[in-house]
Structure 1
Amino acid sequence: MEGRLTQLKAFLEESPNDPFLKYALTMEYVKLGNDEQALAGFEDLILVHEDYVGTYYHFGKFLEGKNQQDRAISIYEKGMQIAQQKRNFHALGELRNAHMAANGLLDEDE
């Protein structure tokens, strides 16, 4: 996986404002268990690329895994707003389900 990490960093040097590349790099950090870099990546994405809908679901799940339930719920809520604005109904549905599960209103297997 280190090769993929190196490759993504090289791509980002060429296109430093590409939200997909930032997202891919962040998800690579998640896979590698590099929580500090993953958190920094998620934070950058929601600050600089607020409308990149894919961030919100995975950031929320990351936070849930770190026992930051309240923050995860807040991230899901923000993601639902963005998905609604962008009319991305697939993402909206996934975020709603994650939000409901995080609030204990839905079994995630449903």
Structure 2
Amino acid sequence: MSRKDQIISLLKESPNDSFLLFALAKEHEKEGADAGAREVYERLVRDFPKDPGTYYHLGKLLEKMGDPAAANKVYNQGIELTRTIGEQHAMRELMGARMELGFDEEE
């Protein structure tokens, strides 16, 4: 049984486990199944919006998929979250990712 199959099996028992969902998204990425990874990351952002790391990973995936405007939007959402929860380290990472795209401010 592959790692992905194990995660899917565990998700049957705990379908709302954010850690397992994140692991599934990473497995999709490893396989090059970007659409599947995007779907899972978007679910995580929707259902577990207070995890700033998800915004970073979704943004990076969107960059890889050739959608910098969508990535910038996700980074901005994550930055707003980090301001709200006072998470400075994650904010700097998200701002750095946004700047690498050529976006200096929220656009």
What TM-score do the two structures reach when normalised by structure 2? 0.88
Q: Gaps spanning 5+ residues in structure 2: where?
A: none
Distance 1:101 1:36 in 2: 23
Match of 2:72 in 1: 73
- How much has 1:104 moved relative to structure 2? 5.6
1:96 matched to 2:95: yes
* Aligned-partner Cα distance in 1 for 2:17–2:84: 21
1:51-83 deviation line (CA, Å, top 9, x unaligned): 122111111111111110100000000011112
Preserved CA contact (<8 Å) 1:59 1:72: yes
Identity %: 36
Residue matched to 1:36: 35
| Alpha-carbon shift at residue 36 of structure 1 (Å) | 2.0
Q: Which consecutive aligned stretches of 4+ in structure 1 deviate over 6 angstroms post-superposition? A: none
Amino acid at match of 1:25: L
The one-letter code of the counterpart of 2:53 is G
1: CA distance, partners of 2:103 / 2:47: 31
